[in-house]
Amino acid sequence: MSLEAHGSPPQQMAPSYTALRKSRTRAKPPLVVVRTGLDRLASLDLGLGGARCGLLCHPASVARDLRHAAELVGETGARLGCLFGPEHGATGEAQDMEGVESAPHPRLGVPVHSLYGRSEDSLRPAPGCLDDVNAVIIDLQDVGARYYTYVWSMVMMIEACAEQGRGIRVLVLDRPNPLGGLAVEGPGIEEGFTSFVGHHPVAVRHGLTAGELARLATAELGLSDRVDLDVVPMQGWRRGQLFDETGLPWVLPSPNMPTLETALVYPGACLLEATNVSEGRGTTRPFELVGAPWIDGWELGAALAREDLPGVRFRPTCFRPTFHKHRGQSCGGVQQHVTDRRAFRPFRTGVALLATVKRLWPDELAWRDQPYEFVHDRPAIDLLAGGAWLREGVERGSTLAELTAGWDSAEAAFRARRSPHLIYGDRVEG
């Protein structure tokens, strides 16, 4: 008997790829227009008239209309005295861990003080940089992972202003956490493992905005009585919103953070910086593509599929980096495709990826042994993980369940710590 006789025409037997994709993807919530701290700056009476301001910024320090913060500070009545540039520089040209020199701004004519030079001392304002400044405005787009260094440039600037002892005002212009503000993932930092990829103990995926993290760090570092900190909050942002639900333009905040999709996988894939596996730098999909010349992408993809990680699929692939690790060499690996952004757990996925590569290629995987973010005496993987637990667990062949044991209690403890410093309300994600 024909299929038509059963009332099932052939075209209904195999739903299209588009239909399958729609069935798996949650509908996005309605777009809610968000105004950042910078968008609100000129409309608020912040008492900046006549103040000589320094501005800590980067290329993503833009308003909704894409005007840069350096253009908008003057609309408050303040005078822009200097810029401060974090890692990658105020113009965002430098690659990771590439020192940037201080120099005059070619168009604005004001000094640009680098906060990422060639030594650990360069991470803080140099002596004299704050002498003629009445206020420091900080406008940095973060990506929600502890080791993305912009928030630590912010905290170190707050510390430097506190050390001045003469009441320099600090204004943090708040921006969305691109990953949302609900999910918290991973442990904190053990004693002795703080660094520029974790200057203060917070969860790897902390779920804080820059303004909220500034409040938490200022309180916990005992700076509240020594610095005049204000956060200019956003309007319209809700903790459950991801960046593309805000109506704001995405401007890459660093050279290898081109899209929101990059930011989604970054909290896990960044762990590969501490290995001889490429994290996709030198390709057009950094952190989504991972691999090495000695990896079989099909074998890796199949092994990762067996881990049954939520919200992600692994597509076997080959790629050839144009710079960075394995430049010009064909690498086997996988591309991470996030299928459910709210179920996806990027740090857990990165830990699984690292453990799987070690299990399949135990003799080929190696840890980075060069200095990392100006630290010479501890492995890079320990700085990223916040302790030796990940490296030691991977080396002894621990399962993913064993590697992530204890995270629930660590995450709950961090939620309790962060709660008093939240600006936008809180609820636990189910």
Residues in the chain: 430
Task: Provide the pLDDT for residue 394.
Answer: 98
pTM of the model: 0.91
User: Amino acid letter at 255?
Assistant: P
Q: What percentage of the chain carries pLDDT values higher than 70? A: 91
In this predicted model, which residue has the larger pLDDT, 21 or 29?
A: 29
Q: For residue 411, is pLDDT > 70?
A: yes
256-296 residue pLDDT tens: 999 999 999 999 999 999 999 999 999 999 999 999 999 99
Residues 373, 377, 378, CA angle at the centre, nearest 5°? 70
pLDDT of residue 322: 97
161-167 average pLDDT score: 86
Average pLDDT, the chain: 91
| pLDDT at 15 exceeding the cut of 80 | no
Three-state DSSP at 84 gives strand
The answer to whether residue 22 scores a pLDDT higher than 90 is no
For β-strands 169-173 and 228-232, DSSP reports them as parallel
Q: What is the mean pLDDT of residues 302-324?
A: 97
- What is the per-residue pLDDT for 25? 46
- Tell me the domain boundaries of the chain: 37-245, 260-398
In 174-219, DSSP assigns E strands to none
Q: What distance in Å separates the CA atoms of residue 234 and residue 160, rounded to the nearest whole number? A: 25
Task: Say whether pLDDT at 9 is over 60.
Answer: no
Q: Quickly state the pLDDT bin for 97 (edges 50, 70, 90).
A: confident
Q: Which fold has domain 260-398?
A: Aspartate Aminotransferase, domain 1 (3.90.1150)
d(CA 269, CA 261): 12
Using a pLDDT cut of 90, give the percent of the chain over it.
82
H or E element at residue 315: strand 312-319
CB 62 within 8 A of CB 91: no
Band the pLDDT of 29: cuts 50, 70, 90. low
Is domain 37-245 annotated with CATH 3.40.50.12170?
yes
d(CA 183, CA 252): 23
Q: Phi, psi at residue 76, to the nearest 5°? A: -90, -5
Kindly report, residue by residue over 121-156, the tens digit of the pLDDT: 999 999 999 999 999 999 999 999 999 999 999 999
pLDDT of residue 147: 96
Q: Is 376 helix (H, G, I), strand (E, B) or coil?
A: coil
Give the contacts of 225 (CB within 8 A, at least 6 positions apart): none
Residue 23 has pLDDT above 90, yes or no: no
Structure token pair of residue 260: 């929101």
* Residue 395 burial (C-beta neighbours within 10 Å; 0-12, 13-18, 19+): middle
**In the prediction, which pLDDT does 27 show?**
52
